[in-house]
Structure 1
Amino acid sequence: MRIALFEPEIAGNVGAILRLSACLGAAVDLVEPMGFAWDDRRVRRTAMDYIDHVTITRHADFEAFRSTIGASRLVLFTTKSEQSPYTFTFRPDDILLFGKESAGVPVDVSDICDARLRIPMRPQVRSMNLATSAALALGEALRQTDALPD
């Protein structure tokens, strides 16, 4: 399973997702441009030495990333959906896509996704932190596919 981050803007979020992915065994795709320099020390500070235990692939743009998908499904997590990840059936080769913190993904990217899911939350709030959303999504996807590490 892979996590893909579309044009992430906050180094700390990326670092936290790298650490999450190292712990749970998911690869991470970073779709550029990013809102920070890749050598930003905040990424390493958040990911710590876990960064050495995760497969990271950087892509120049969305089309470059898309060329690596193959037969995998692209599953977008968005506030603009009604379907819950808890009623969706994940597959082991799914790619969990998350948009940039300030704006999500553009409509043309959303339109090509195989599924669009929204993590349920109280109506008084708009969205969760990116790293928190990724943790909930990846945990559920791995649970469903019996792929959680021992």
Structure 2
Amino acid sequence: MINIVLYEPEISGNTSNIIRTCYAGHAKLHIIKPIAFDLHPHWLKRNGAGHLLSEIQHEIHDSYAAFDKKYGNKNIYYITRYGLENYADVNFESVIKSDGEVWIMFGTESTGIPKRIMQKNINNCLRIPMYPQCRSLNLANTVAIVLYEILRQRSFEGLSKYEVQKGKDFILKKD
């Protein structure tokens, strides 16, 4: 199981996109409160995200302390611009084989993951390489990049590798 953890998300559109990405990648979503918006479908800005939240495995945690109490013993990776290791250099497939799961935490849009959390877990702080003058990437894009790297390492196990709704040969059919 791939676990995506959002630390105190602030922008509903990002969380909506992440819900959709977790659905597409068959990942479990954890959201740590406080949340800067309501998770009611009306406030989730992307079409279908409110509906998809009920479709995906997810947990809402009242605080970081509550999350840490329940899952603090897990081998969690932290995606941060301060990470010293490239996320793509981690063999997530071997992590899943040994632990049965992988945990990836992403920070709040404005401030990221608190320094105190990263300092306690420095060896698990990962970075996405980027142009040196760029401060950071969009949160939803970051989740998609890392989730799909994990899925790629697993040969997209359990995911459809071709169009299933209109058929594998849809592109070949004449209109």
TM-score (ref. length: structure 1): 0.90
| 2:72 maps to 1:63 | no
Counterpart of 1:9? 10
Q: How does 1:1-150 map to 2 (within 5 A)?
A: 1-39=2-40, 41-43=42-44, 45-46=46-47, 47=49, 49-69=51-71, 71-90=73-92, 91-92=95-96, 93-113=101-121, 115-148=124-157, 149-150=159-160
Question: CA separation in 2, counterparts of 1:60 and 1:98?
Answer: 17
Q: Could you report, residue by residue, the CA deviation over 1:26-68 in whole angstroms, capped at 9, with x for unpaired residues? A: 0000000011122262316342543332112100001211233
- Point out where structure 1 has 5 or more consecutive residues left out of the alignment: none
The 1:70–1:79 alpha-carbon spacing in structure 2 relative to 1, beyond 3 Å, is: closer
Counterpart of 2:166? none
CA RMSD across the alignment:
1.9
Deviates more, 1:89-98 or 1:125-134: 89-98
> How many residue pairs end up in the alignment?
150
Q: Could you report, residue by residue, the CA deviation over 1:101-142 in whole angstroms, capped at 9, with x for unpaired residues? A: 000111221133350111111112111100000000011112
Question: CA separation in 1, counterparts of 2:50 and 2:114?
Answer: 31
The 1:44–1:68 alpha-carbon spacing in structure 2 relative to 1, beyond 3 Å, is: farther
Q: Could you report, residue by residue, the CA deviation over 1:63-118 in whole angstroms, capped at 9, with x for unpaired residues? A: 21123326531100000123111111222211110000000111221133350111
Question: CA separation in 2, counterparts of 1:30 and 1:126?
Answer: 24
Question: CA separation in 2, counterparts of 1:52 and 1:31?
Answer: 17
% identical aligned pairs: 30
DSSP 3-state at the match of 2:88? coil
The 1:39–1:49 alpha-carbon spacing in structure 2 relative to 1, beyond 3 Å, is: closer
Question: CA separation in 1, counterparts of 2:28 and 2:69?
Answer: 16
Larger Rg: 2
Deviates more, 1:44-53 or 1:111-120: 44-53
- Point out where structure 2 has 5 or more consecutive residues left out of the alignment: 161-175
